[in-house]
Amino acid sequence: MCAPVAGTDSLVAPPMSSRITDSQTTVAIIGPGRVGQALGRLLLLAGVRIGWVAARRLAAAKKAVRFIGAGRAVTLDSADLAAAGLLLITTSDSALPGVALALAKRRESWKGAIVLHTSGAWPAGGRDSVLQPLRRRGASAASLHPLQTVPSAKAGVRNLIGCFWAIEGDPQGVKLARRWVRALRGAVFTLRPEHKPAYHAAAVIACAGIVTLLESSRRLLERCGVPPKRARHLLEGFVAETAKNFAALGAPRALTGPALRGDWATLRKHFAALEKTTPDLVPLYGELLHSMLRMTGRRVPRGVS
């Protein structure tokens, strides 16, 4: 979890010993979406010089520069990017292979350059590296992915402070990524490159999956007469306490409810209510029930689901 921090500018005014001021850290940010803008802003506050901000559309690059507070706006086909010694690629996962290949072709040699990307799914190191075109021309590559939700650039400036970052890649790139995370008061855990897709799936389950489950619960509460906004606030505290119990006790001890007790009569009532109110949630509830029971060592008897 991320430590709460009060204001945006106090947010990363890291201790001077953590600030990054050496001449090798002028960065070109490629594909400045929500994560790119937030991370660019935080790196600037940490003492990193932002040289260029590149997007497909110049208007998008200019908007990102205004948010970050530094850098020259350019398009992805700008010749200026060939002068960069440090590339931070924050494009979407689907765009990353094409962008890496296009950047590699800008120079015959990228020896001495460091290339970082923020994708959770693509490896930077190993033989399946999405940055292989740049590595073949001498660049050191690594990835740093925040295990944190970033619904907007503004939220990212708050949420990326003190959070956990998954890092993997070549030694020089990993060394720089670690320095950046320290400056952002974060914590690092390392992955093997081949584990990136499974790691990212775990992140999606824990974030987007939870949102999907919360919305399913909210819909049911609305059918019970609870207004949507009220339902969201009710679920916020409920789920936060559940997350605390999971972290402190582990899944078996944090699990509560009729599945744990083997209360089949109550579970039959649940399925009957779902069939009546929100039949599209019956398969989801059934899968969840089977997963719960696997944790308890029980099986679902016939006629329950």
Q: What is the DSSP string of 83-150?
A: G-SEEEE---TTTHHHHHHHHHTT-S--TT-EEEE--SSS-SSSTT-TTHHHHHTT-EEEEEEESS--
pLDDT band at 18 (very low <50, low <70, confident <90, very high): low
Kindly state the DSSP code that residue 299 receives in the 8-state scheme. -
The pLDDT score that the predictor gives to residue 303 is 64
The pLDDT score that the predictor gives to residue 26 is 85
The pLDDT score that the predictor gives to residue 260 is 87
Rounded Cα distance, 98 and 96, in Å: 6
The pLDDT score that the predictor gives to residue 155 is 95
pLDDT > 70 fraction of the chain, expressed in percent and rounded: 91
The pLDDT score that the predictor gives to residue 207 is 95
212 token code pair: 């999907």
Query: What confidence tens digit (pLDDT) does each residue in 84-142 have?
Result: 999 999 999 999 999 999 999 999 999 999 999 999 999 999 999 999 999 999 999 99
- Is the pLDDT at 13 greater than 70? The verdict is no
Mean local confidence (pLDDT), 220-248: 96
| 282-296 and 264-277 helices, crossing angle to 10° | 160
The pLDDT score that the predictor gives to residue 5 is 38
pLDDT band at 305 (very low <50, low <70, confident <90, very high): low
Query: What confidence tens digit (pLDDT) does each residue in 252-284 have?
Result: 999 999 988 889 999 999 999 999 999 999 999
Which pTM was predicted? 0.87
The pLDDT score that the predictor gives to residue 188 is 97
Mean local confidence (pLDDT), 28-49: 96
Mean local confidence (pLDDT), 48-62: 97
Q: For the chain, which domains are there? A: 8-192 (3.40.50.720), 206-296 (1.10.1040)
19, exposed or middle or buried, with CB in 10 Å at 0-12, 13-18, 19+?
middle
Q: What's the mean pLDDT when you consider all of the chain? A: 91
Compute the residue count for the chain. Answer: 305
Sign of CA dihedral 29, 40, 159, 46: positive
Query: What confidence tens digit (pLDDT) does each residue in 164-199 have?
Result: 999 999 999 999 999 999 999 999 999 999 999 999
269 token code pair: 């009532």
- Is the pLDDT at 228 greater than 80? The verdict is yes
133, exposed or middle or buried, with CB in 10 Å at 0-12, 13-18, 19+?
buried
The pLDDT score that the predictor gives to residue 225 is 95
8 token code pair: 């945006």
